[in-house]
Amino acid sequence: MSYQIPCSPVVSETEEKKSRFICWLGPVQDKAAFQRELERARGEFPDASHHCTALIIGNPANPEVMQSDDDGEPGGSAGRPMLELLLKQGVGNVGAIVTRYFGGTKLGVGGLMRAYRGSVGAALQKVDLKTFVPRLAVVIGCDFAQESRLRFLAGQHGGTCADAEYSDRVSMRVTLPQDQWISMREQLIAEGFEIGSCVEQ
């Protein structure tokens, strides 16, 4: 299933009762990359009160990774509302870091939840999103006589053929949208193609 992902990072700033909330929101492929972004934020704003985070890797409907952190704010008042908003908006492969400078007035749990959610909401208003279609790379084997048929079937399912290897048979790498794989696989099996390794991209 397709979902929305950020094209590039954005930064937005909001204020609530003199507390400043600076939100970085951008595309993230893995936890290590997100951790590097968090370290960058901590280095850029070393005197900030908190650096709260939310991270979704993969499809927001069924994420590979989904995590949040309140970074010392009352439990559930920061990271969770940030994460819930990203999930509600259907954005995947995304990270959000909200840096807070305390303004002297306590906001209470409800106020914090609104402020952190609002900070991410402001960033979502600025960011450009694009549709991401998960794809599969599948190695398929066939006789020489079947090669043109394999290329035809791949094209019919929105796929591309590459990395063909020729020995006594043809071994071809086909990349296609995940949601097309079940129907193509049925055709391949029915026509006697050999299905090899299958990797998500």
**How do the domains of the chain map onto residue ranges?**
3-131, 133-200
Mean local confidence (pLDDT), 163-189 = 92
Chain segment 97-151, per-residue pLDDT in tens: 999 999 999 999 999 999 999 999 999 999 999 999 888 999 999 999 999 999 9
Phi first, then psi: give them for residue 97, nearest 5 degrees.
-125, 120
Phi first, then psi: give them for residue 160, nearest 5 degrees.
-130, 150
**pTM, two decimal places:** 0.77
Pick the closest to residue 25 from 103, 105, 89, 108 (CA basis).
89
Residues of the chain above pLDDT 90, percent:
90
CATH top class, domain 133-200: alpha beta
What's the CA gap between 86 and 121, in Å, rounded? 9
Chain segment 47-77, per-residue pLDDT in tens: 999 999 999 999 999 899 999 999 999 999 9
* Burial class of residue 102 in the structure, from the number of CB atoms within 10 Å of its CB (0-12 exposed, 13-18 middle, 19+ buried): middle
Q: Which residues pair with 50 in a beta bridge?
A: 100
Residue 20 and residue 101 in contact, taking contact as beta carbons nearer than 8 Å: yes
Q: What does the chain look like in DSSP terms, one character per residue? A: --EEEESS-EEEEEEETTEEEEEEEEE-SSHHHHHHHHHHHHHHSTT-SEEEEEEEES-TTS-SEEEEE-TTSSTTSSHHHHHHHHHHTTB-SEEEEEEEE--SS--HHHHHHHHHHHHHHHHHHH--EEEE--EEEEEEEE-GGGHHHHHHHHHHTT-EEEEEEESSSEEEEEEEEHHHHHHHHHHHHHTTPEEEEEEE-
The CATH code of the domain at 3-131 is: 3.30.230.30
What's the CA gap between 87 and 3, in Å, rounded? 11
